[in-house]
Structure 1
Amino acid sequence: MVTRRTVLGALASAMVPVTVRAADHDREPEFLADRLRATSLPPLAQRLPKRPRIINLKEMGRMPGQYGGTVRTIIGSQKDIRFMTIYGYARLVGYDEHLVLQPDVLESFQSENDTVFTFTLRDGHKWSDGSALTVDDFSYWWNDVLLNKDLTPGGGSLILRVNGNLPRFEVVDALTVRYSWDAPNPDFLPSLAAPQPLVLVGPSVYLKKFHQDYQDKFRLQALMKENRVKKWADLHIKMARQYRPENPELPTFDPWKNTTTPPAEQFVFERNPFFHRVDENGRQLPYIDRFILNISSSSIIPAKSGAGESDLQATGIDFADYTFLKDAEKRYPVKVDLWKMTRGSRVAILPNLNCGDDGWRALFRDVRFRRALSLGTDRHEINMAVFYGLGTPSADTLLPESPLYKPEYANAWIDYDPEQANALLDEMGLQNRNDDGVRILPDGRPAEITIETPGESTLDTDVLELVTDHWRKLGIALFTRTSQRDIFRSRAMGGRIMMSIWYGMDNGVATADMNPGQLAPTMDDQLQWPLWGMHYLSAGKQGTAPDLPEAVQLTELLGQWQKSAHMPERTEIWHKMLAIYTAQVFSIGLVNGTLQPILRSSRLQNVPDKGLYGFDPTCYLGIYMPDTFWLNGGQ
């Protein structure tokens, strides 16, 4: 059987014309004119692959653009230069706007039962320094990086292991590589399309300079000293990091390339002259010449954005900033749109089932308690007061934009019913109250819950003020504690957090082809069960194993999904997991479908008025291809 992915990969390749007409002067960006005149850069026809990826903008309802200009954006710290990798969204395989996988850097891909994956490279594709992308770059990364115990001590990403085994890698011919497992690996292709993608390839000609198997020992030591590292492996890792592009010398596939060596307060990214995409007129993307990323304190990013200091801003601003930013349209040539956030809930309350307090842990693991808290929360009031009625009261689950959405998941235990909530708490034996009306726990303590937040959004505190009033009617006293994110996570892992408020499910627009791991204990940052997540993440070496039957069942269902190569079976597993997760109220979702402000210069074209905004799978702006954005008036 050949999966749907095979057909999609083949069709996407077939739709690409064989050639693009030879470049003429009006197809060359003026930004590259000096290098072209000096012949330090070849003409466009020699820079592009023989079969570039052609983006037909008119079919997408957008306008072919013009070259030129600089776009400013603001980031909160140096590490946030990673947004350029996410926004640029150059991937071996990536999602389109409909969340269908398409070949991107690859010319085509084939998947046979999700066990054998064959990748075809674009003939003539080049890295940003002009060196050729070849199968040797895949071979180098596989044999000399992933299989090198110094560079990859753990033996590679868990995604590369099926039943504990790595795939067989082979070079089929000069343009083809293949990865084969004995059992299905449905995570493989989606992981290549992720915001932080699984890395399978690197610029071997450049990276061999930092590898002990290829570099002279004395030269390698000199490079280690120059870069202030003590081990050659640390040197290679530092120079090869693709996701956070801090090394300006590292060749890339991205539409823009970092030119600034950190530390710095401003990072300049310039167009990649060898980028592999063109528009329908044969003009090479990206249209925009340069991105400038200015570092600022996160707390004042909204103020700076509203003061005309950003030409494109999505991160660092929130719905709470919308009215202020919208008002900036009166003073500056900017436009502010609202995109729909893809999270299962904009904010969710997460009882810690791994809480270190024995008494509270027992209560949190009783589904009646979680359901009571959910029924005792007035989501309509939260939606109206905090989100101006623009969101949707919902459990923490998928959005209607997902093909897996069902109303019964969204509506599970969300009706505001204090009477039923109180009845459930009474049924649990918590009927006694003190003089303040607070319920008494079995061990004699008052039912006082401290809910913790990293305090990164005023929305959290606004929501908690309302929830405190709601739960008081249930006889539960709620107190808030704010701490920095690192401390917050450390406390959660140590079992010192009773309950937290955080985002809901990351991916609210999932398809059956996407991993349902967010519904099971799989990660240590899942605040409702961090120790169970760590146990899964470490293959049982850390944390503790789940001992709640429904959590165990979710983990088992995830294992079944990972072994499945058939869409109907994956879909059925997803629905089983969604039904369990929402019925058990493992996270108390409040409101989803909330909106994210996107600020842009009024000159910036092709930015959609509406879109889906989230980290995974939409890569914030990534699937809307910022390389196709252009500035009206050019420079």
Structure 2
Amino acid sequence: MSETEIDRRILLRNIAWGGGGMLLFGGCTPGAKSGATGKDSELPAVEGAEIVGDPGQFPKMFKESPEFAQQVAAGRLPAVAERIGQDPLVLKPIHEIGKYGGQIRRGFIGAADFQNANRFCSGPDNLLFWDKDRSHVVPNIARGFELSADRTELVVQLRRGMKWSDGHPFTADDILFWRDDIDLHDAFSRGSGTPKLRVRNKPVAIEKVGAHTVVYRSPAPYPILPELMAGITDVGGQAFAGPTGGGGFAPKHYLSRFHPKYTSEAAANAAAREAGFQNWTLHLKSLNSWALNPGLPTVTPWITRRPINNPPWELTANPYSIWVDTEGNQLPYIPTITMSQSKDIEVITVRVVSGQFDFQDRGLQVDKLPVLVQNEKRGDFTVHRAPGDSMDCAIRINLAYNKDAEVGELLRTADFRRALSLGIDRDQVNQTFFLGSGTPSATMAAKNSPYHPGAEWQLKWATYDVAQANQLLDRIGLSNKDEQGFRLRPSGNGRIRLNFQSANAQANFPAVGEMIRKQWVQLGIDVTNQTVAAALLSERSLTGDLMLFISNVATDDPFANPDTFLPTVPNNIAGMIGIPYAKWFVSGGKDGTEPPEPVRLLKDAMRLYQRGLEADKAARIPLGQELFRLHADQVWSIGIVGFGLITNGIYTAKNNLGNVPARVYNGNQVKTPVNTLPMTFYYR
């Protein structure tokens, strides 16, 4: 019997012993009192490394790792000061200055888990980013920014002397190349570009005013643009969005060789076919994938040495990293990250428990929290908890579903959705799968969010009321049932059948689907429940084959992060609320499908959203509150449990790993846990 099989038996035995309930223990997270989840226990304050913005406080001299020093001595690298440039990104580590050396071992689940590295070791590579509390936007790989008084112009200043990982200068030309030759190119977006750079359906112009300065000129006030650049959006960094044609910048000197504008259509397509791609656009997207292409120049602290599709996935320190500590040591301290592939989520937990991973977050599900804590000493690690700011578990509904016309019309009927929501026992789901760590809720902002519309909306159409649910279904004409008690279609031609498709990802969403399937039997609603690979789910969302999809819904900010909440994304699974509707909104009615009468209020919601993009923060608050009222009342998605540990809320770190935050702000916009700033981690 293998070691993994033995560890799996230990894991399953401990889970059975833990029983899925509340297991009391001390010190799960430094500063915690007790409790398996930390929902009611005292957690440490949010902490993190700080960006030093005052040039007067910058270190005067720079140092580097022994490996890079050897390469400099051998003439294979320029001096460290030349590699970093005039404007380093200076970090003050949370606890202490570290030392060089070691390897961080992590795990990932196959090629579909490409965001694993983006959410850990990408820097992040946003031009702008959030401070540790997500209270305001700060410069990141850009050295500064300024919004004009009328909110129509954003000046972004780049770091002088900053270079791509191959040593080529990073300049304004890399931003313009991305915007003009990728984002706005007909082959990528039919010329419309990312919705994040459109205001009133008109494009934001980007102008170069110097090698290290660009100006974003909007046709109307657009004060939210810095927040979009700081978040997980199409303009939120190459590592996240490069493979889909986004990012906000791209290495012109490298990618232009494969672009027809700089060669020819024939040459670009010939190179694509030689590489195994149908056309040059697919080839270019693949080349711009940090996870797949070790030859891609990046500005991340680590660069890919061995790609995700040839595991183990390996990354190594970027010799041109702009990150340094307050004593001038070039970061990262730890030169190598190695991610081994696990065949499923359960194996990730097994390997953490047996001490094989140094830092892990992805794949740690809440129901495994008791066994993780029980084995802290055995694996020489500490479990950290960071409750999130969004809906962790919800049913996303494809409101544009048309593969079955009758079912599609039902899904577009508000009272049908309300009945389905009333038929869910959220407390049972929360206790069974999430150890009570979440809050049963409609799709809603967190209570401490300025966008929360009031306590009376938290459970709008989200209490467990089977009687009311059945009354609603009867009232909309679904009173006829077959011999097994399942409701018949309006046409009478067979029973209504709904379909869940979900992946075992942040949580065991297919198991949640199975519980809800059984609960909906009391409503006379028949459901099939499928476990589907994440990559296949993405494909099916684009073809309209997904009907109901259990996952998380980001509700931290309906303006900066609307993609799973409103029909704003036309090209990936985030837009499953209605991809044809998203195409219609994004194109100004030129493409896609206009929302029909039953979901006409989506138009009102999108008008509120557009108004919010042009408003300052204070003016956005009432608009956001109205958006949540609309969403909760119309049940455009069915919120189940939120604001707990399900989404990136658990991370484990070896006890000899220094500068690990006891707790970080957990939010989608800050790409948690990349905001732990692992480039400051070191081995004691």
What is the TM-score normalised by the length of structure 2?
A: 0.79
Deviation, 1:459, is 2.8
| Cα distance change on mapping 1:214 and 1:402 into 2, 3 Å | same
Equivalent residue number for residue 298 of structure 2:
252
Equivalent residue number for residue 84 of structure 2:
48
Q: How does 1:110-189 map to 2 (within 5 A)?
A: 110-112=146-148, 113-142=150-179, 145-146=182-183, 154-186=191-223, 188-189=225-226
Deviation, 1:263, is 5.1
Is the Cα–Cα contact under 8 Å of residues 457 and 629 in structure 2 kept in the other structure?
A: yes
Deviation, 1:486, is 5.5
Deviation, 1:309, is 2.8
Is the Cα–Cα contact under 8 Å of residues 86 and 622 in structure 1 kept in the other structure?
A: yes
| Cα distance change on mapping 1:205 and 1:63 into 2, 3 Å | same
| Cα distance change on mapping 1:171 and 1:460 into 2, 3 Å | closer
Deviation, 1:455, is 4.3
Equivalent residue number for residue 20 of structure 1:
59
Query: What's the CA shift string for 1:483-506, capped at 9, x where partnerless?
Result: 445655666666665x5241242x
Matched, 1:85 2:118: yes
User: Within 1, Cα distance between the matches of 2:478 and 2:278?
Assistant: 59
SS in 2 for 1:320: helix
User: Within 2, Cα distance between the matches of 1:216 and 1:536?
Assistant: 34
Deviation, 1:430, is 4.1
Unaligned runs of 5+ in 2: 1-49, 233-239
Equivalent residue number for residue 593 of structure 1:
643
Equivalent residue number for residue 581 of structure 2:
532
User: Within 2, Cα distance between the matches of 1:173 and 1:185?
Assistant: 23
Deviation, 1:349, is 6.0
Equivalent residue number for residue 76 of structure 1:
109
SS in 2 for 1:514: coil
SS in 2 for 1:83: helix
Query: What's the CA shift string for 1:262-317, capped at 9, x where partnerless?
Result: 75222321112222222223222212111112233235333334333322222233
User: Within 2, Cα distance between the matches of 1:627 and 1:63?
Assistant: 13
Is the Cα–Cα contact under 8 Å of residues 482 and 495 in structure 2 kept in the other structure?
A: no
Equivalent residue number for residue 683 of structure 2:
631
| Cα distance change on mapping 1:620 and 1:30 into 2, 3 Å | same
Deviation, 1:568, is 3.1
SS in 2 for 1:119: strand
User: Within 2, Cα distance between the matches of 1:437 and 1:261?
Assistant: 52
Equivalent residue number for residue 4 of structure 1:
none
Deviation, 1:246, is 2.9
User: Within 1, Cα distance between the matches of 2:425 and 2:349?
Assistant: 29
Matched, 1:423 2:507: no
Q: How does 1:7-406 map to 2 (within 5 A)?
A: 15-17=54-56, 19-23=58-62, 27-58=63-94, 62-78=95-111, 80-87=113-120, 88=122, 89-99=124-134, 100-112=136-148, 113-142=150-179, 145-146=182-183, 154-186=191-223, 188-195=225-232, 196-197=240-241, 198-210=246-258, 227=275, 237-239=285-287, 241=288, 243-260=289-306, 264-299=310-345, 300-348=347-395, 350=397, 352=399, 354-405=401-452, 406=454
Query: What's the CA shift string for 1:523-555, capped at 9, x where partnerless?
Result: 353444344334445654654211123222212
User: Within 2, Cα distance between the matches of 1:315 and 1:324?
Assistant: 16
Is the Cα–Cα contact under 8 Å of residues 354 and 530 in structure 1 kept in the other structure?
A: no
| Cα distance change on mapping 1:410 and 1:345 into 2, 3 Å | farther
| Cα distance change on mapping 1:104 and 1:461 into 2, 3 Å | closer
SS in 2 for 1:22: coil
Is the Cα–Cα contact under 8 Å of residues 452 and 483 in structure 1 kept in the other structure?
A: no
Equivalent residue number for residue 11 of structure 2:
none
Deviation, 1:106, is 1.0
Is the Cα–Cα contact under 8 Å of residues 71 and 291 in structure 1 kept in the other structure?
A: yes
Deviation, 1:79, is 5.7
Structure 2 counterpart of 1:608, one-letter code: P
| Cα distance change on mapping 1:445 and 1:294 into 2, 3 Å | same
Equivalent residue number for residue 577 of structure 1:
627
What is the TM-score normalised by the length of structure 1?
A: 0.84
Query: What's the CA shift string for 1:25-57, capped at 9, x where partnerless?
Result: xx4322323113224334433333323222223
User: Within 2, Cα distance between the matches of 1:569 and 1:387?
Assistant: 36
User: Within 1, Cα distance between the matches of 2:188 and 2:511?
Assistant: 46
Structure 1 counterpart of 2:641, one-letter code: V
Equivalent residue number for residue 551 of structure 1:
602
| Cα distance change on mapping 1:214 and 1:482 into 2, 3 Å | closer
| Cα distance change on mapping 1:209 and 1:422 into 2, 3 Å | closer
Structure 1 counterpart of 2:621, one-letter code: T
Deviates more, 1:117-126 or 1:475-484: 475-484
Deviation, 1:71, is 0.6
Matched, 1:474 2:534: no
Deviation, 1:222, is 9.6
SS in 1 for 2:523: coil
Deviation, 1:103, is 0.7
User: Within 2, Cα distance between the matches of 1:569 and 1:40?
Assistant: 54
Is the Cα–Cα contact under 8 Å of residues 248 and 258 in structure 1 kept in the other structure?
A: yes
Equivalent residue number for residue 235 of structure 2:
none
Pick the aligned partner of 2:674 from 618, 622, 627. Answer: 622
User: Within 1, Cα distance between the matches of 2:176 and 2:524?
Assistant: 63
User: Within 2, Cα distance between the matches of 1:473 and 1:192?
Assistant: 46
Is the Cα–Cα contact under 8 Å of residues 308 and 332 in structure 1 kept in the other structure?
A: yes
Equivalent residue number for residue 459 of structure 1:
508
SS in 2 for 1:383: helix
Equivalent residue number for residue 5 of structure 1:
none
Query: What's the CA shift string for 1:425-450, capped at 9, x where partnerless?
Result: 34334455555444455433676433
Unaligned runs of 5+ in 1: 1-10
Is the Cα–Cα contact under 8 Å of residues 440 and 446 in structure 1 kept in the other structure?
A: yes
Q: How many residues align?
A: 609
Query: What's the CA shift string for 1:371-421, capped at 9, x where partnerless?
Result: 222223221222222222221111122223533224333221222233333
SS in 2 for 1:503: strand
Structure 1 counterpart of 2:504, one-letter code: E
SS in 2 for 1:473: helix
User: Within 2, Cα distance between the matches of 1:231 and 1:559?
Assistant: 35
User: Within 2, Cα distance between the matches of 1:235 and 1:379?
Assistant: 45
